[in-house]
Amino acid sequence: MRPWQCMMDALRSFTWRSYVPLLPILIAQLLYLVLALNLGQAWGMATAGAIGRWAVGPSAINYPASLEILPLTSSYVETWTFLIGGAFALPLLAAAVRMTLPGGEMAAEERSARLRVAYPATFLALGAAFAVTLGWQDIVVRFLPRTLASFLGQPFQVSLVTWTISVLVGYAIITAVVYVPIAALDRRAGLGGTLRTGLQLGLRYFWKTYPLFLLLSLPALALQLVAQLGGSLLLVRTRPENAAYVLFAYAVLSSVATYFAWNMATRIHHAAGGNRS
Amino acid sequence: MTLLQRRNLRRLGWLRAAAPIALVLAAVGCDAAARQADVYRVQQGIWKAIRDVRTARLDTAGADSTKLLGLRQQFIDAIEQVSPSAWTPGEGGARTQEQRRLLAIVSQAEIQAATLAMEAGRPDLALERCRALGRAAEGDTSVTRRMDILVSGSLKQMGRYDESIDVMKAMMVRYPPRAPDSTGVEDFVLGLPNVIIDLRRTLGDQEGARRELADAERYYNGLILAGGLDPRLEAQVRSHLVQTYLEQNKTAAANAGLDSLETLAIAYPELKQLTPEVRYRRAKLQASQGGDPAQAIAALERVAFDFPMSPAAVPALLDAALLKERSNRLPEALEAYQAILSRYPARRDYAATALLRQGMVEERLGNWAASKRTLESVPGLYPRTAAAAQAPITIAEHYARVGDRQGIQAALRRAVDAYTEMIEADSLAPSVVQLRWNKFRALAGLEEADAAFGVIESMVANHPTSPLTGQALLEGIKIADRKGLTSVSRGFLARFVQDFPNSPKADEARRRLRSVSK
């Protein structure tokens, strides 16, 4: 089965039941945005305000600065919720998808045993991927704009190309660890073995997964682009709160893209002969 | 008791101890968050109000006073999101960092609200609120300074000029001027004596202006004598002092002041920018001392040539042109005025004067058609300037000189219309007293006594203490006497005696009042 078909099957097979593991992550992210929109209330200031202040500094509790930096603070919240929640949600999602595929069924006890290894393995893999991504973004922010400025001139073009390169490499890093929770469900193995197999699968299926992963994430990426590069424009030309509404939509689309990406990856691995108990 | 039970009890004991601490921490945290949320709501309201003001300003229809007051209310509503107790210092007398932050935000909003109120012609609304915030912010001079400026501005717009001047003088005592920052912009407190002098002059109070000049000299000398000034601040103070000497024709003191300024500029390289100003003032001093005007003209033009971007360049060029005009080098003067207009159109006050003088020179060169066109264009191009107030009368004066009776009548009629329009455009500006005086003169020239008396009444009502009002009353008495209007004459006399008891003409007025009252 071609990867494209796997993606189409993933899109066709959406069920709320299989999406449920990702729901708490989405709720946490939306809840943060709701709190950040309500810094004028004590409960908003005590929660989202405190997070913003801790992450960015005292300017995070000023209006409209709090909404100007919301794409940044919400990206921190997204990273942490995905790291902690994703460690549980992604293996559960992969298991739920696998159960619907021919030959993918497994006994409840076996499933539980494999999931117990999958959780820490996914946590470590995601943690490592985020650390590498952050390091990469740091390099990009430090050196790339200066180099690009001499070729492109226009500041917006420089920001756009920097953002694009940053996103492309970031997604490539995540693609490398996509298969860790899926590999954990293949057979009972130790943590190290699971991580190694997951990374090997990630590299083996990289070119089958990466372009489709990007394609599925395009709607979310478009909104991320608006929120991160057009934040000041939204602030000045429209209401500052619109930045938060864009992030609401981004969080939903990003969660849906995550669901389809792991669903598709599980199917790609299954089609290649993996996932057989 | 089993071991497990004992362990559980120990855990409960910890809980009991920790619970009050946790509650106190939560309460403190919630209290701080509640205060921060208050500030946030104020900022939110201000931001929305600022955006609405910007939209209103971009609206081609413009904003009328009702709209402006509506926008002002948005700022007031934003401020009133928090109680003034939120920035009131505690028992220790010092404000917390949070309180200072809130006070700064509130004062910014109050400035916006006051500006809108003044723009809507309701300075009374700004006055009380600014006074109240100034009192509440006692101890925070960054806020009280701003509030005092607004109080003074409101009083000025309300026509309470003496009170406005009192506030400005109190500010000069209360706020020692600050040294300029990296931009070099001087502290507004340093310019207050000039504002007061200009206000007195605008009100036609030349005697008052002379008194204020003497006060300004004392103020600037006091600052220098107190010592310990930052060199950049000292340079600014000395520059003001030289200007004060020049305006009082104290040439020796002005020369000494310029020497001190030069010494400062040599001692401190960062004060090099003083050079054009020192050279301009020296040239001006040279011009005021008589002698060969050609040398003074050359020196003034050299300043503008060497430092074309300096603030001294335009006044130097204008002074050079005026000297040429006085020396009867009329074609050269005309060229100089035209050069100012083409090179520095944004310096409105200087450009307005240059255009007025251009019209006058054209008349002297015998080109009345061009002169008339130029003079008639001044009020339209530079409204609310002294030149705009002068131009219509200048046209009438030309007809008077050539003995053209019909021309005089037509020019005076146009002058009356122009002044009426200018007064209506900004009836609260201090310069209105001068416009009303000019309108009165034009109406008197037209022998329209009733209309002229109407102008005197509006001057008495709006500018009761202005010397121009006193002058208008005296002129009104003469007109009334000529027309045999005894009751009008008596009314003006009584008003003059009451409002100008210390005038040199007061005794004579009292005698006349007694004689007409018998």
Domain boundaries, chain B: 1-84+100-151, 190-196+204-288
Give me the helices (H) in A101-190, please. Answer: 108-152, 155-177, 180-184
| Per-residue pLDDT at B358 | 95
Contacts of A67 in chain B (CB under 8 A): none
Contacts of B86 in chain A (CB under 8 A): none
| Per-residue pLDDT at B1 | 46
Burial class of residue B37 in the structure, from the number of CB atoms within 10 Å of its CB (0-12 exposed, 13-18 middle, 19+ buried)? buried
DSSP, res A277: -
CB contact under 8 A, A39 and B34: no
Structure tokens of A268?
């790609």
Q: Is the minimum CB–CB distance between B43 and chain A shorter than 8 Å?
A: yes
Interatomic CA distance for residues A228 and A235, integer angstroms:
12
DSSP, res A49: I
Residue B6 has pLDDT above 60, yes or no: no
Nearest residue of chain B to residue A47 (CA atoms): B33
Interatomic CA distance for residues B191 and B198, integer angstroms:
11
CB contact under 8 A, A62 and B43: yes
Query: How does pLDDT run across A254-276, given as a tens digit for each residue?
Result: 999 999 999 999 999 988 876 55
Place of tokens 């990406």: A261
Q: Is the minimum CB–CB distance between B305 and chain A shorter than 8 Å?
A: no
Query: How does pLDDT run across B123-149, given as a tens digit for each residue?
Result: 888 898 898 888 888 878 888 998 999
Contacts of B36 in chain A (CB under 8 A): 39, 45, 49, 61
Question: What values do phi and psi take at B501, rounded to 5?
Answer: -65, -25
Interatomic CA distance for residues A105 and A96, integer angstroms:
10
Interatomic CA distance for residues B482 and B480, integer angstroms:
5
Which of A135, A277, A118, A98 minimizes the C-alpha distance to A195? A118
- Let me know: does A267 contact A199? Beta carbons within 8 Å: no
| Least confident piece of the model among A27-36, B86-95, B200-209 | B86-95
Residue B193: pLDDT band with limits 50, 70, 90: very high
Taken in order B109, B110, B113, B116, the sign of the CA dihedral is: negative
Structure tokens of A144?
């790339």
Residue A142: pLDDT band with limits 50, 70, 90: confident
| Per-residue pLDDT at B210 | 94
Residue A44: pLDDT band with limits 50, 70, 90: very high
CB contact under 8 A, B33 and A62: no
Measured CA to CA in angstroms, residue A165 lies from A153, B75, B196 at distances of 17, 44, 62
| Higher-confidence position of A187 and B61 | A187
User: In angstroms, what separates the C-alpha of B92 from chain A's closest C-alpha?
Assistant: 25
- Let me know: does A57 contact B38? Beta carbons within 8 Å: no
Q: State mean pLDDT over A83-107.
A: 90
Interatomic CA distance for residues B269 and B504, integer angstroms:
52
| Per-residue pLDDT at B10 | 57
CB contact under 8 A, B40 and A62: yes
pLDDT > 90: percent of chain A: 51
Choose the closest CB to B33 out of A49, A63, A240. A49
Residue B18 has pLDDT above 70, yes or no: no
| Per-residue pLDDT at B39 | 87
Contacts of B39 in chain A (CB under 8 A): 61
- Let me know: does A46 contact B29? Beta carbons within 8 Å: yes
User: In angstroms, what separates the C-alpha of B498 from chain A's closest C-alpha?
Assistant: 57
Contacts of A44 in chain B (CB under 8 A): 37
Choose the closest CB to A40 out of B29, B30, B37. B37
Q: Find which of B36, B82, B98, B100 to mutate to test the A interface (most A CBs within 10 Å of its CB).
A: B36
| Per-residue pLDDT at B416 | 92
CB contact under 8 A, A39 and B47: no
Nearest residue of chain A to residue B50 (CA atoms): A236
Residue B75 has pLDDT above 70, yes or no: yes
User: In angstroms, what separates the C-alpha of B236 from chain A's closest C-alpha?
Assistant: 36
Nearest residue of chain B to residue A58 (CA atoms): B36
Radius of gyration of chain A (CA): 20
Q: State mean pLDDT over A69-98.
A: 92
Q: Is the minimum CB–CB distance between A49 and chain B shorter than 8 Å?
A: yes
Choose the closest CB to B47 out of A44, A50, A63. A63
Chain A 222-241, residues with CB within 8 Å of chain B CB atoms = 240
Structure tokens of A110?
């076996």
Choose the closest CB to A45 out of B40, B44, B47. B40
| Per-residue pLDDT at B17 | 57
Which of B184, B192, B189 minimizes the C-alpha distance to B230? B184
Interatomic CA distance for residues B66 and A195, integer angstroms:
70
